Amino acid sequence: MLNHLLSGDLPRSRVLALMLVLILAGLLLTPFIFPGAKALNVAAKICIFIVLVSSFDLLLGYTGIVSFAHTMFFGIGAYGIAIALTRFGPTWKGVAVGVVAALGVSLVLSLLIGLFSLRVKAMFYAMITLAVASAFMTMASQFSEFTGGEDGLSFKVPELLTPGFSLREAPFLGVSLDGKLITFYLLIAVTVVLFLVMLRIVNSPFGRVLQAIRENEFRAEALGYRTVSYRTSSNVLSAMFATLAGTLLALWLRYNGPDTSLSFEIMVDLLLMVVIGGMGTLYGSVVGAALFIVAQNYLQDLMKLAGNASAGIPLLRDLVHPDRWLLWLGILFILSVYRFPAGIVGNLRLSAWRKRTQAPKEG
């Protein structure tokens, strides 16, 4: 049953399986074992970025396409929800219209980018997508009548998803059963479903063709596959999942602006998460997103504790000052790449494969 649910793509490493179980259990139990708004926001962000990073890995890791327009589709999803709920009010109709409209816009744009740009060489394609993403961010900032401009849009969500809604007056295990909690578990459920769908895609015959194109596009073309069609399809699918991740972000924050979903910083974070987890391994998206976001949100707090503990040591106190958390985040990234050149999941799977192949010889 589990093998079928995971499309035959089991973790193949006990350490990886344990990590995935711990991440899922940690997300499910966050409201109960990590009280406070910050922990819940971090867990929600992990869910959203698991979908976003997985969709980017579908494009980069499995097809070998470098695109800098991925955050554009992320922003389209967020703006779709924001604009629809602003216009239609906090209704489920507004949510449905926002999701469908965002997916429609992303479908058209990803098709145009794919058809007109994927015929060029990789570097030129990356530059084209960067230009398109920059133009879209400028439009979102200037069309303030629809997007709110630099200030963005704040909006209300359906009552079921609001903090003011309550399933029961008395807390359950110390946790209020309100709309915020419902939204959080809705995020987890949608994340799991979307991840399993992407896992099915990459393990299907279509996904194997994408990997063949990544390894050797000319050989795939010689075997009779229309590589432009497959690359375009991969671009569209990746954009659709990124758009859905954007809708989840907007529903959680009840706000969206250019810096929230369209900034180039998000694109850089995506690349880091994919590299840390391991390109071409969707499980790597889960591990990379969880580790990076936890480090991003709690490394500064840990450094503050270390700074207080080393207050009497001038040089060490300056090195672990909370303002230098980005420096240490960069050092941790370099160390992770050095220790896991194929990403965490890639190295774990390689180690597991070596153990399986060497075991009969030792016997």
Query: What does the pLDDT look like over 238-269, one tens digit per residue?
Result: 999 999 999 999 999 999 998 899 888 899 88
Q: Which residue has the tokens 């609001």?
A: 162
Query: What does the pLDDT look like over 311-362, one tens digit per residue?
Result: 667 776 677 777 777 777 788 778 877 777 788 888 888 887 777 777 555 4
Residue 12 has what pLDDT?
Answer: 81
* Residue closest to 184 by CA, chosen among 250, 124, 120, 252: 252
Q: Do 283 and 199 touch, CB atoms closer than 8 A?
A: no
Q: Do 225 and 233 touch, CB atoms closer than 8 A?
A: no
* Residue closest to 329 by CA, chosen among 282, 276, 280: 276
Residue 120 has what pLDDT?
Answer: 65
Q: Note the Cα 358 to chain centre separation in Å.
A: 36
Residue 362 has what pLDDT?
Answer: 47
Q: What is the DSSP letter of 157?
A: -
Amino acid at 34: F
158: part of which helix (H) or strand (E)? none
Residue ranges for the chain with pLDDT beneath 70: 117-122, 307, 311-312, 316-317, 359-363
Distances (CA, A) of 258 to 138, 150, 237, 275, 338: 9, 6, 23, 25, 34
Domains of the chain: 2-362 (1.10.3470)
Residue 128 has what pLDDT?
Answer: 83
CA angle 237, 238, 239 (to 5 degrees): 90
Residue 166 has what pLDDT?
Answer: 80
Full-model pTM: 0.92
Residue 356 has what pLDDT?
Answer: 76
Q: Which residue has the tokens 């200030």?
A: 151
